[in-house]
Structure 1
Amino acid sequence: MTRVITFGTFDVFHVGHVNILERAAKYGDELIVGVSSDKLNFSKKNKYPIYSQEDRIKIIQCIKFVKEVFIEESLEEKLNYIRKFKADILVMGDDWEGRFDWVKDECKVVYLPRTPSISTTEIIEVVRSGRK
Structure 2
Amino acid sequence: MKKIGYTTGVYDLFHIGHLNLLKRAKLECDYLIVGVTTDELCEQRKGKKPIIPFFERMEIVEHIKFVDEVVPQVNMDKFEAWQNLKFDRMFVGDDWKGTEKWNQLEKQFAEVNVEIIYFSYTTHTSSTKLREILDKI
Q: Could you state the TM-score of these two structures normalised by the residue count of structure 2? A: 0.89
Indicate the SS of the match to 2:72: strand
In structure 2, distance between residues paired with 1:49 and 1:104? 33
Q: Deviations over 1:57-97 (max 9, x none)?
A: 00000001101000011002x11212322200000111222
Indicate the SS of the match to 1:18: helix
In structure 2, distance between residues paired with 1:37 and 1:66? 18
Q: Which residue identity does 2:118 align to in structure 1? A: Y
Residue matched to 1:86 = 86
Deviation at 1:35?
A: 0.5
Indicate the SS of the match to 1:75: coil
Within 5 Å, which residues of 2 pair with 1:1-132?
A: 1-76=2-77, 78-98=78-98, 99=102, 100-101=105-106, 102-106=108-112, 107-130=114-137
Q: Which runs of 5+ in 2 are unaligned?
A: none
Q: Which residue identity does 2:136 align to in structure 1? A: S
Q: Which residue identity does 1:103 align to in structure 2? A: F
In structure 2, distance between residues paired with 1:104 and 1:57? 29
Over the residues paired in the alignment, what is the CA RMSD in angstroms? 1.1
In structure 2, distance between residues paired with 1:104 and 1:117? 33
Percent sequence identity over matched residues? 34
In structure 2, distance between residues paired with 1:29 and 1:13? 23
Q: Which residue identity does 2:90 align to in structure 1? A: L
Q: Could you state the TM-score of these two structures normalised by the residue count of structure 1? A: 0.92
Q: Which runs of 5+ in 1 are unaligned?
A: none
Deviation at 1:118?
A: 1.0
- The number of equivalent residue pairs is 129
